[in-house]
Structure 1
Amino acid sequence: MTDAGRKGLLGMVRILLAEDDGTMREYLARALERVGYDVVAVDRGTAALPYLERETFDLLLTDIVMPEMDGIELAQRAAALAPQMRVMFITGFAAVALKDGATPPNARVLSKPFHLRDLVNEVDRMFEIGSAADI
C-alpha cells in the first residue's frame, strides 16, 4: 500500500487521546497524525466526555492515571456512550491492576516507556492496518 493510500485509510480512523502530560500528549498526537490518523487530544478525562457525547471516535487512547477522572472511569463512561469504540490504556505504572469487568473487553494496555513506533504498531493492529516501520 502506498503512503497516500495508507494515510487515506487511516484518516477515516478517529482517535480521542486523553493524556494529562502535555509533552507526552503532543508526542503521541503527532506520531499518530504523522502516519495519517485523525486525532483529537485533551488533557484530562473530564475534557474527553463532551467530545464523546457529540462526536464519533474509533479509539479512545487514554492514560490511566489522570486528575479529576482516571482513564478507567473514562473508558467505562465511553463504553456506555459508544460501545463499539476500541480502548487502549497507556500507563507508566506497570503494577496498575485493571479489575475484571472494569474495562471494555476489547481494551489493550501499553506500558510506558514505549517507542512511538510501538504505539503506532499497536493502534494499527487494533484496526488491522500494515506496519509503522517509518516512525
Structure 2
Amino acid sequence: MIRILLAEDEEAMRTYLARALQNAGYEVIAVDRGTAALPLLEMGEFDLLLSDIVMPEMDGIELAQRCAEISPKTKVMFITGFAAVTLKASREAPQAKVLSKPFHLRDLVMEVERIFGQQAHASI
C-alpha cells in the first residue's frame, strides 16, 4: 500500500484531504506542520510527501528539501492557495507537482495516481 505523509496546518483541510486519500486506498499519516513531519520521514518509509507550502515553523519547500536529504525516494507534491508561492515552489523544487487551491478531491486523487501510475481506486 502506498504511504502518504500529509503536512497541512489547517485542521479542516488536513482532515478532508486525509479522508479523501484514505477512501482512495492510500495509507495516510497527517501532521499539522513541517517540523512534525521530519521525525516521521526519518523513522519510516513514505512514498509521497503531500505538503502545504505556507505553514508555521517550516514551510513546505524547506520540508521538501529536507525530505530529499532524509528520504530521497519519497516523491513530493505541494498544495497551496497562493499563486506566487506556486511559482517559487516550481523554481526551488522542480520535480514536485503543485496543486493550487481550491481543487476538487477527485483532482487530488488523480494527481496522486498519476505520480504512481495507478488506476482509480475509488470514485470521489
Q: Which TM-score band applies after superposition, normalised by the shorter structure?
A: over 0.9
Displacement of 1:106 after TM fit?
2.7
Aligned to 2:109: 120
Q: 1:20 and 1:126, CA in 2 relative to 1: closer, same or farther beyond 3 A?
A: same
Aligned to 1:44: 33
Tell me, yes or no, if structure 1 residue 134 matches structure 2 residue 112: no
Aligned to 2:92: 102
User: Normalised by the size of structure 1, how large is the TM-score?
Assistant: 0.86
User: Normalised by the size of structure 2, how large is the TM-score?
Assistant: 0.94
Q: 1:57 and 1:99, CA in 2 relative to 1: closer, same or farther beyond 3 A?
A: closer
Aligned to 2:72: 83
Distance 1:101 1:53 in 2: 25
Aligned to 1:6: none
Deviations, residues 90-129 of structure 1 (Å, cap 9, x unaligned): 00001212267621x4310000000000000000000001
Larger RCO (alpha carbons 8 Å, 6+ apart): 2
Ranges in structure 2 where 5+ consecutive residues have no aligned partner: none
Q: What letter matches 1:20 in structure 2?
A: D
Bigger Rg over Cα: 1
- The alignment partner of 1:95 has SS state of helix
Q: 1:54 and 1:133, CA in 2 relative to 1: closer, same or farther beyond 3 A?
A: closer
Distance 1:108 1:84 in 2: 15
Q: What letter matches 1:95 in structure 2?
A: A
Instruction: Decide which structure has greater helix share.
Output: 2
Ranges in structure 1 where 5+ consecutive residues have no aligned partner: 1-11
How high is the sequence identity, in percent, across the aligned residues?
Answer: 67
